[in-house]
Structure 1
Amino acid sequence: MGSSGSKETVESAPVKPTGPPPLMSSPWRSHITWSESERRQLLDDIYNFKVKGGIQYLNCFLLGQSASGKTSFFNTCATALKDEGRILRPLTVLRAAGSSVTTKFETHPLYTKSDQVLKLRIFDCRGLHDIEGVTDENIRLILDGHVKHEYKIVPDETIQHTDDYYRADPQLGDKMHCVVYVVNAENPGAALAGGAATRSFEKIKKKISQTHVPQIVLMNKVDRLRGSLANDISELFRSEEVKNKFTAVARFMNLPDMNILPMSNYHSEPVPNRNKDILALTNLKVIMGSANDFVQGRGTSNAPSGFFD
Structure 2
Amino acid sequence: MSEVEKYSPVDAVSIDYVNILLIGAVGAGKSSYFNTINSIFRGHVTSQACSGSAEHSLTTVYRVYKIRSQETGFPLKFRLCDTRGLEEEQGIESADMLAILDGHLPDRYQFNPSMPVSPEITGYKKNPTLQDKIHVIAFVMDGCSVDVFPEKILTNIKATQQKANQRGIPQVVLLTKVDRVCQEVEQDLSQVFYSQAVQDLVDEVSQLLGLPRAHVLPVKNYEREMELDQGVDIPALLSVRQMLRFADDYLYNFVDER
Could you tell me which residue of structure 2 aligns to residue 109 of structure 1?
66
The residue identity in structure 1 corresponding to 2:117 is I
Q: Which runs of 5+ in 1 are unaligned?
A: 1-42
| Residue number among 287, 290, 293 corresponding to 2:246 in the alignment | 290
| Residue number among 54, 66, 86 corresponding to 1:96 in the alignment | 54
Could you tell me which residue of structure 1 aligns to residue 195 of structure 2?
239
Cα deviations by residue, 1:47-70 (Å, 9 ceiling, x for unpaired): 111211210010010000110011
1:111: how far off?
1.1
1:21-32 alignment runs, 5 A limit: none
- Find the aligned partners of 1:189 and 1:145 in 2 and give their Cα distance: 33
- Find the aligned partners of 2:216 and 2:205 in 1 and give their Cα distance: 8
Mapped contact 1:131–1:156 kept (Cα < 8 A): no
Mapped contact 1:140–1:208 kept (Cα < 8 A): no
The residue identity in structure 1 corresponding to 2:155 is R
The residue identity in structure 1 corresponding to 2:48 is P
More divergent stretch after superposition (269-278 vs 116-125): 269-278
Could you tell me which residue of structure 2 aligns to residue 61 of structure 1?
21
Mapped contact 1:218–1:263 kept (Cα < 8 A): yes
Q: Which has the larger radius of gyration?
A: 1
| Residue number among 145, 154, 161 corresponding to 2:103 in the alignment | 145
- Find the aligned partners of 2:193 and 2:4 in 1 and give their Cα distance: 23
The residue identity in structure 1 corresponding to 2:124 is Y
Could you tell me which residue of structure 2 aligns to residue 73 of structure 1?
33
The residue identity in structure 1 corresponding to 2:134 is M
Mapped contact 1:218–1:260 kept (Cα < 8 A): yes
Change (3 A) 1:190 1:100: farther
Change (3 A) 1:44 1:201: closer
Sequence identity of aligned pairs in percent?
A: 26
- Find the aligned partners of 2:160 and 2:70 in 1 and give their Cα distance: 36
TM-score by length of 1: 0.78
Could you tell me which residue of structure 1 aligns to residue 210 of structure 2?
254
Please state whether the residue corresponding to 2:31 is helix, strand or coil: helix
Could you tell me which residue of structure 2 aligns to residue 163 of structure 1?
121
- Find the aligned partners of 1:254 and 1:199 in 2 and give their Cα distance: 13
Backbone CA RMSD of aligned residues: 1.7
Please state whether the residue corresponding to 1:283 is helix, strand or coil: helix
- Find the aligned partners of 2:179 and 2:204 in 1 and give their Cα distance: 17
TM-score by length of 2: 0.93
Please state whether the residue corresponding to 1:238 is helix, strand or coil: coil
Q: Which runs of 5+ in 2 are unaligned?
A: none
| Residue number among 275, 278, 288 corresponding to 2:231 in the alignment | 275
The residue identity in structure 2 corresponding to 1:234 is S
1:192: how far off?
3.2
1:227: how far off?
1.8
Could you tell me which residue of structure 2 aligns to residue 224 of structure 1?
180
